[in-house]
């Protein structure tokens, strides 16, 4: 067999939901990717990965440090650790010579980002960031339209993300990304890293030159708590059956919706009962009153970016919406593009001043695209990662870590601007 065509071998670091989504690609495509090891603090997860992918105990490790001390035995690492762990877990493995598929955000501040980039440059690693939305038919189609010149030069790009009330509750008030001191990320970095990357990617090769931002925590603070509300929904709150943010209504009544987060402590139980779930809510973070948590991240934020060609971009994130929805509108010199990600359509309008006309319209229906795995983005991303590691031609969605810097930098500066009451800050890349 041609050495270049052997499957890329990879080790799972942090066997959570996202890393396993990429690792599962190997089960359908064993000729392209082979999982040969795991590093995770959780013994249950180590055993699960070992059995699923069929390698021996000697290739199971409790940490990135332990893995780095062992002889190198794979081509790459799929790093799916928590955001604040990305840099500290990546560096020893990059220094060991591994290439890497690294979950976003790849760093939580500018200093971390520069330290990681320095290591990558020194050791010449191939590092790709998991910007999975680029790989969805929705955003890749928009990128192709821009490359073709369909709407001319971009004048303005507007992205919007409405975070549903139950997602906001699960991830950003009660959940892992609710307190910036604990998770070391802001709301914009944790939730909108995708969106800012999409903006930078679609605007490329034009670079951001200034950024400003405003936002606040408007809703979920103790002074807004309903009258007579308790501190834990299933313990001492008389509103448990009718509060819109009741843990009973959001989680017990919808036990499958956020199971990978809410029922994390039950994953080793084959058939958890409602009583098992009640116990989790009675004792754990997800059973706290939404208005009396220790969350300190914003629930809405707006960002304004100026680009090197004179174009502008805006991103608006609002948490607590009735439904999740990402929208995008791009105005160009020849026309415009509008699309709704969850509703799976793109509308392209090209200016046409002919008699009886205002524009020519193309409606792109993506309703037949599956919603599984980020609409197939997970699989396409992993496929591109294999080609990236092999040095083969890959899609327009695939770029190295160096092309992910602009999106992260804009987020770091946007949060700085927000903390300075919207002051405009220069972007230096």
What's the pLDDT tens digit per position in 58-90?
Answer: 999 999 999 999 999 999 999 999 999 999 999
Q: Taking 70 as the threshold, does the pLDDT of residue 155 lie above it?
A: yes
Query: What is the spatial distance between Cα 42 and Cα 29, in angstroms, rounded to a whole number?
Result: 27
* Count of other CB atoms within 10 angstroms of residue 147: 10
Is pLDDT at 135 greater than 70 in this prediction?
yes
Superfamily of domain 3-125: NAD(P)-binding Rossmann-like Domain (3.40.50.720)
Which pLDDT belongs to residue 1? 35
Q: Which of 281, 58, 212, 330 is nearest to 11 (CA)?
A: 58
Least-confidence region, from 166-170, 238-242, 258-262, 357-361? 258-262
CB count in 10 Å sphere of residue 65: 13
* Whether the predicted pLDDT of 176 surpasses 60: yes
Report pLDDT for 3: 43
What is the per-residue pLDDT for 2? 47
267 pLDDT higher than 90: no
Cis peptide before 205 (omega within 30 of 0): yes
Instruction: Taking each helix axis as running N to C, give the angle between helix 86-95 and helix 110-123, from 0 to 180 degrees, rounded to the nearest 10.
Output: 10
Strand 127-129, strand 312-321: pairing: unpaired
Q: Whole-angstrom Cα distance, residue 181 to residue 239?
A: 30
Q: Which CATH number fits domain 133-220+296-377+388-426: 3.30.420.40, 3.40.50.20, 3.30.360.10, 3.30.499.10?
A: 3.30.360.10
Greatest extent of the chain over all pairs of C-alpha atoms, in Å = 74
Joined together, the tokens standing for residue 301 give 């934020």
DSSP 232: B
Tokens standing for residue 257 = 């919706």
- Write down the mean pLDDT value for the chain: 95
Give the mean pLDDT of 248-257.
96
Domains 3-125 and 133-220+296-377+388-426 share a fold: no
Residue 232 clears pLDDT 60, i.e. is over it: yes
Reduce the DSSP state of residue 14 to 3 states and report it: coil
Domain positions in the chain are 3-125, 133-220+296-377+388-426, 222-292
Rounded CA separation 106/86 (Å): 6
Q: Please state the φ and ψ torsions of residue 38, each to the nearest 5 degrees.
A: -150, 145
């Amino acid at each position: 067999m041609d050495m270049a065509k052997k499957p890329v071998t990879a080790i799972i670091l942090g066997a959570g939901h996202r890393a396993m989504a990429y690792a599962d690609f190997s089960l359908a495509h064993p000729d392209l990717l082979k999982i040969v090891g795991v590093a995770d603090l959780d013994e249950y997860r180590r055993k699960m990965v070992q059995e699923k992918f069929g390698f021996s105990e000697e290739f199971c490790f409790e940490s990135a440090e332990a893995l780095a001390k062992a002889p190198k035995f794979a081509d790459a690492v799929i790093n799916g650790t928590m955001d604040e762990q990305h840099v500290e877990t990546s560096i020893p493995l990059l220094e060991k010579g591994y290439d890497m598929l690294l979950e976003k955000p790849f760093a939580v501040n500018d200093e971390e980002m520069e330290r990681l980039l320095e290591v990558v440059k020194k050791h010449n690693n191939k590092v790709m960031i998991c910007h999975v939305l680029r790989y969805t038919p929705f955003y890749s189609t928009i990128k192709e339209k821009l490359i073709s010149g369909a709407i001319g030069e971009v004048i303005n790009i507007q992205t919007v993300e409405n975070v549903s009330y139950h997602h906001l509750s699960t991830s950003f008030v009660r959940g892992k990304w609710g307190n910036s001191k604990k998770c070391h990320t802001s709301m914009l970095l944790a939730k909108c890293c995708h969106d800012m990357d999409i903006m930078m990617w679609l605007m490329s090769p034009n670079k951001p030159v200034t950024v400003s931002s405003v936002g606040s925590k408007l809703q979920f603070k103790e002074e807004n708590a309903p009258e007579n509300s308790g501190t834990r929904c299933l313990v001492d709150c008389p509103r448990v059956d009718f509060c819109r943010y009741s843990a009973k209504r959001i989680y017990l009544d919808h036990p499958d919706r956020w199971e990978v987060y809410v029922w994390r402590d039950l994953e080793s139980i084959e058939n958890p009962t409602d009583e098992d779930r009640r116990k989790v809510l009675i004792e754990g973070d997800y059973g706290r009153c939404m208005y009396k948590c220790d969350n300190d991240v914003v629930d809405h934020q707006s960002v304004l970016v100026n680009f090197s060609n004179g174009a502008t971009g805006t991103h608006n994130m609002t948490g607590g919406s009735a439904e999740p929805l990402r929208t995008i509108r791009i105005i160009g010199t020849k026309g415009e593009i509008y699309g709704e990600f969850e509703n799976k359509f793109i509308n392209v309008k090209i200016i046409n001043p002919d008699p009886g006309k205002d524009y020519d319209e193309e409606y792109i229906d993506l309703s037949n695209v599956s919603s599984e795995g980020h609409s197939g983005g997970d699989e396409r991303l992993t496929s591109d990662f294999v080609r990236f590691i092999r040095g083969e031609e890959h899609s327009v969605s695939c770029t190295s870590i160096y092309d992910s810097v602009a999106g992260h930098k804009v987020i770091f500066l946007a949060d700085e601007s927000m903390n300075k009451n919207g002051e405009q800050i220069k972007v230096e890349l």
